[in-house]
Copies of this chain bind each other. A is one copy, B any other.
């Protein structure tokens, strides 16, 4: 068991009617607010009006940047960073899902340097300062509302790169489950797959970690498996939306890590899919995960599949371990592709093998992903092909 540091100072207002605290919280950081968001959905839902009214009501100066796309682009980050400098912004408020929050974090960092923000990803330029970021969440998926991570795409170089810096962690996040009532069935399903994948990336390990965290991760997984179908069936089910929302934050705020050192596998592979084909991140993860689990199953890893199958899917522990492992992968596939109704192959979403070799090389940086099971170029290409 490795030592670790745990520090998650984000203040979370969870529930309905919490937006009344927005003005007082933003005010702590200064007067000039940059509001960032994606398309028009927050205008349709009325959330935009509510947020603007709180900001104006608190006597703050409001600036806006909209049009942040899913798989957010470095161009948005550049634009936001420039605006922060020009308008002398004190605090950024991201209203949206993970893409908006991710991009906003890097605007906050870009505002404090002279170089091109893409250098944070291409040259790993240091992040020594950043403007404070707050968020109002509208999609349960990425956990960006409570962590320091942000993934940014560069369509020119076909790169999609994530980086985590604790200084970018939102200071205050507003999580109102009812703000996700308008999320479509498809996006709810993709969000559920994303949350599960964040947990899998930590859960599937051969390192000896805290049993306590395994129990909590199993609880988070059961929560997603229980409530995602309910939210898809009845989008305004508050209990379902609340459970998904709070689970999404805890899947990726650092809590479940507990000092594990291995690299993440499915996310590395999926980022290549999104970078080359601009697909929804959660969908790519759903297609990849069962194939990745099949690839990693061996004598040394078997115990973890058994634990997963028994504790999460309730498979009879009296069965043969290998049978439990295979059944657990099957039950996960069924959840993704039958219960959530996601497409089960890359072929179905129009992706062929034409770029697999270069994508595989990029996914492992030409070396090895030191994950649950080490994956080299060949392994990754094999997994990609199994997804066809």
The minimal Cβ–Cβ distance linking A280 to chain B, given in whole angstroms, is 24
**Cβ-closest chain B residue relative to A249:** B6
Q: Which of A11-19, A90-98, A331-339, A358-366 contacts B (4 or more CB under 8 A)?
A: A11-19
Do A239 and B208 touch (CB < 8 A)? yes
Closest to A175 in B: B6
Q: Within 8 Å CB of A16, what residues of B?
A: 3
The answer to whether A243 has its CB under 8 Å from any CB of chain B is: yes
Residues on B with C-beta less than 8 A from A8 are: 8-9
Within A1-46, the residues touching B (CB, 8 Å) are: 1-18
Per-residue CB proximity of A113-126 to B under 8 Å, as 1/0?
Answer: 00000000000000
In the assembly, how many copies of this chain are there? 2
CB contacts under 8 Å to B, within A181-219, are 208, 210-216, 218-219
Given A11-B7, A12-B6: A223 touches B211 (CB 8 Å cut-off): yes
A222 beta carbon closer than 8 Å to chain B? yes
A276 on interface, CB distance cutoff 8 Å: no
Residues on the B chain within 8 Å of A14, using CB: 3-6, 258-259
A246 within 8 A of B: yes
A220 and B217 alpha carbons, distance in the complex (Å):
11
Question: Could you tell me the distance in whole angstroms from the C-beta of A123 to the nearest C-beta in chain B?
Answer: 28
Rounded to whole Å, the gap between the CB of A115 and the closest CB of chain B is: 29
**Cβ B6 vs Cβ A15 within 8 A:** no
* A226 CB within 8 Å of chain B: yes
Write the nearest CB–CB distance from A199 to chain B, whole angstroms.
12
Partner of A223, one of B15, B212, B223, B226: B212
A52 to B9, CA, bound (A): 28
Contact B212 A246 (CB under 8 A): yes
A77 at the interface (CB under 8 A from B): no
- For window 251-296 of chain A, which residues contact chain B by CB distance below 8 Å? 258-259
- Asked if A48 CB lies within 8 Å of chain B CBs, one says no
Residue among B11, B211, B222 making CB contact with A215, cutoff 8 Å:
B222
Q: A313 within 8 Å of B by Cβ?
A: no
Shortest CB–CB separation between residue A378 and chain B, in angstroms? 36
Assembly CA distance A120 to B15 (angstroms): 31
- Measured CA separation A214–B227 after assembly (Å): 14
Q: Is A238 an interface residue (CB 8 A)?
A: yes
B-side contacts of A18, CB under 8 Å: 3, 5
Give Cα distance in the complex from A218 to B1, angstroms.
22
When the two chains form their complex, are residues B215 and A220 in contact, meaning their CB atoms are under 8 A apart?
yes
Interface residues of A (CB under 8 A from B): 1-18, 208, 210-216, 218-220, 222-223, 226-227, 238-239, 242-243, 246-247, 250, 258-259
User: What 9 pairs across the A-B complex have the smallest Cβ distances?
Assistant: A3-B15, A215-B219, A9-B9, A212-B223, A7-B11, A6-B12, A216-B216, A216-B219, A212-B243
Q: Other than the known A15-B259, A211-B227, what 13 A-B pairs have Cβ atoms closer than 8 Å?
A: A1-B15, A3-B13, A3-B18, A5-B12, A7-B10, A7-B11, A211-B223, A212-B220, A212-B243, A212-B247, A212-B250, A215-B220, A218-B219
A-B contact pairs, 28 of them (CB 8 A): A1-B15, A2-B15, A3-B14, A4-B14, A4-B15, A5-B12, A5-B14, A5-B18, A6-B11, A7-B11, A7-B12, A8-B8, A8-B9, A208-B239, A210-B243, A211-B223, A211-B227, A211-B239, A211-B243, A212-B219, A212-B220, A215-B219, A215-B220, A215-B222, A215-B223, A216-B219, A216-B220, A218-B219
